[in-house]
Amino acid sequence: MLIDHKALLAMLASELDDARAELEMLGVALCQDVAITTAHVAKLQALDHVGQRCASVADILRAPDIQAASAAAPLESIASRLEGLTRQA
């Protein structure tokens, strides 16, 4: 069975969108508890960062030019990892 490359990337991007939505709902639920928010601000911010990474990767997977989208990624982690890949090539 041959899988269409574009369809596969779109499906993976959709999965990342769903994961980000779940993380966001979790973060909102946890932030409604003042004790949790006070005790775990940095960890809650980390949840938000993971969601941003999911969104950034999903945008790259949907882009017509994946390499250009990767280079323009707003997150430092993606840009620095891409730089490491180009050095290896």
> What global pTM score does this model have?
0.81
Alpha-carbon gap, residue 83 to 49, rounded angstroms? 21
Q: Which residues contact 53 (CB under 8 A, 6 or more apart)?
A: 75, 77, 78
Could you tell me the end-to-end alpha-carbon distance of the chain, in angstroms, rounded to an integer?
30
Looking at residue 88, its pLDDT comes to 66
Kindly list the distances between the CA atom of residue 11 and the CA atoms of 7, 43, 46, in Å, as whole numbers in the listed order. 6, 29, 25
pLDDT digits (tens, 9 = 90+) for 16-44: 999 999 999 999 999 999 999 999 999 99
Domain ranges of the chain: 5-88
